[in-house]
Amino acid sequence: MLSRFKLPLLCLGAMVVWSAASPASAEEWTRKTVHGGELSRSVGKDGDVYTGSTTRTGPNGGTYTSGSTCTAGVVDRCSRSYSGTGPNGKTFSGERYSAAGPFRGRSVGSFTGPNGNTVHGFRRWRR
């Protein structure tokens, strides 16, 4: 009975050692969208810190860019910022910060629209 579990445990141990020994990893890709635009994505990991960025270009000239950083732990923390420009040249931007623990989470953010007005928001939730 015990020998049946040796191989899976050995594989699990090798995965843990490999992931701890690997200091950083990254992945990038670009693809066309259904309506003629382009989407680019980059994701990276360095220890317990995850980063990502996305750029989307529409067929009509609009663009959207976002970047995020998350830290994994007992309390997961993330920050995200984004901005965009419509085909008519009007811009928007925003940012969001969140922290989620084992029992509850909190999030705060802001959004600035094309007319320059800024809206702030706050949210709490239970898991």
For the segment 16-32, what is each residue's pLDDT rounded down to a tens digit?
A: 444 444 456 789 999 99
Beta-ladder partners of 82: 66, 94
Q: Considering the domain boundaries, does residue 127 fall inside one?
A: yes
What's the pTM value of the predicted model, to 2 decimals? 0.72
Q: Considering the domain boundaries, does residue 34 fall inside one?
A: no
Q: Considering the domain boundaries, does residue 26 fall inside one?
A: no
Q: Considering the domain boundaries, does residue 74 fall inside one?
A: yes
Burial of 38 per CB tally in 10 Å (0-12, 13-18, 19+): middle
Q: Name which residue leads in pLDDT, 26 or 100.
A: 100
Query: In the prediction, which pLDDT does 19 show?
Result: 47
Poorest-confidence range of 23-32, 52-61, 96-105, 108-117?
23-32
Domain span at residue 56?
Answer: 40-127
65 contacts: CB under 8 Å, gap ≥ 6 = 53, 54, 55, 56, 82, 83, 84
Q: Considering the domain boundaries, does residue 27 fall inside one?
A: no
Provide the domain count of the chain.
Answer: 1
In this predicted structure, the answer to whether residue 39 has a pLDDT above a threshold of 70 is yes
